Every structure is written in structure tokens, then in C-alpha cells.
Amino acid sequence: MTASDWGALMAAVQLGDTGKYHRLLVEVRMWLRRYYSRRLPPAMVEDAVQDTLLAIHEKRHTFDPSRPFEPWLAAVARYKWIDRLRALKSAPTEAITENVAVVDHGDVVASVWSLERLLQELKPAQSDVIRLVKLQGFSIEEAAAHTGQSVSLVKVNIHRGLGRLASIVRRRSDAE
């Protein structure tokens, strides 16, 4: 489903079609997660998504079916994003003392770098879905929608990709 189909779904929602309402919310939720993940700290993304879905529910009567849905959705998401930024401004903060322990992230950086090099050895379709599902927490269905692969192909690519990664790691450990 493309974003251009969302307007038709919202028009059906306004006429009381609950099945299409659920479908619209699932689609819009994925878009909102991507939208907010680029704009907010990770801990705030899901709350912003839920606030926006609630706002869409409360303001669905304001959508004009003769106009595109995406700008309407983007406006609602933008207003909720601004609300989140305002909340950050008014959130209490603590003064940082000079005795703050700093964690060494060297091991994490090395691990991420190693993982990226391993993923580059896979087919792009495999590495893409492994990143989405296993590293970023997308569902199989969300990864399928994001990559254009079918749900079953996403599962196959994950299975084969992880198997290939395991064999690469075994081969390298045997060589050492």
C-alpha cells in the first residue's frame, strides 16, 4: 500500500469503515515511527507515535477527502513533534558535576564496525531485512512494507542471511 492510498482509506473511515481504519492506523504507525525516529530521542518515539495516532483519531473529521492525505498527516505529526520539543524544554534537568564517570564505548564501536563489515558480505536484500528486524526492532510485516519484499521473502532472507553470517564467523574463527 502506498501513501497515496491513505486518503481513500481515511475517506472510508469517515464513513464508518472500521476495517479500513485499522489498516490505515497500521500503515500510518510505520510512517510515524520513521518520522519521529529522525527527529526525537529514541525513548520518546513511541510516545510521540501514540500521541499522534490519538490526535488523528480525534481530528479525523477535519480531513477533506478531496485533498491529499499526506500533508494533513504531516501537519498533525509536526504539531505533535513541536509539542514534544516544548516538553523537552520544560523538563527538569540536573547539573552535571565534574565527577561524572565516562563509559568507554570502544568495545561497542568495534562491535558495530565488525557487524557492519559482516553485513556487507551478504546480499543487500538479506542485510537490509536483518538490519530492520534484528537490529532496529521492526516487525516482519513492517520490514516487508519498508523493503517491498513479501513477508515470506523477508523471513527467508533473514534465515539465509543469519545462516551465512554464522558460516562466515565460523570460517574466520577456524582460520585464527
User: Is the pLDDT assigned to residue 104 strictly greater than 80?
Assistant: no
pLDDT confidence band for 4 (50 / 70 / 90): low
pLDDT (0 to 100) of residue 112: 80
Domains of the chain in start order, with CATH, are: 3-90 (1.10.1740.10), 106-175 (1.10.10.10)
What is the Cα–Cα distance from 46 to 48, expressed in whole angstroms? Answer: 5
Comparison of pLDDT for 100 and 38, the residue scoring more? 38
Q: What percent of the chain has pLDDT over 90?
A: 42
* Phi (first) and psi of residue 88, to 5 degrees: -65, -40
User: Is the pLDDT assigned to residue 96 strictly greater than 90?
Assistant: no
pLDDT confidence band for 2 (50 / 70 / 90): low
Give the model confidence (pLDDT) of 41-54 as tens digits. 888 899 999 999 99
Cell match 525513548: residue?
Answer: 43
What is the Cα–Cα distance from 32 to 69, expressed in whole angstroms? Answer: 14
pLDDT (0 to 100) of residue 128: 93
Instruction: Residue 153: name the closest of 129, 122, 135, 133 by CA.
Output: 129
What number is the average pLDDT over the span 13-30? Answer: 87
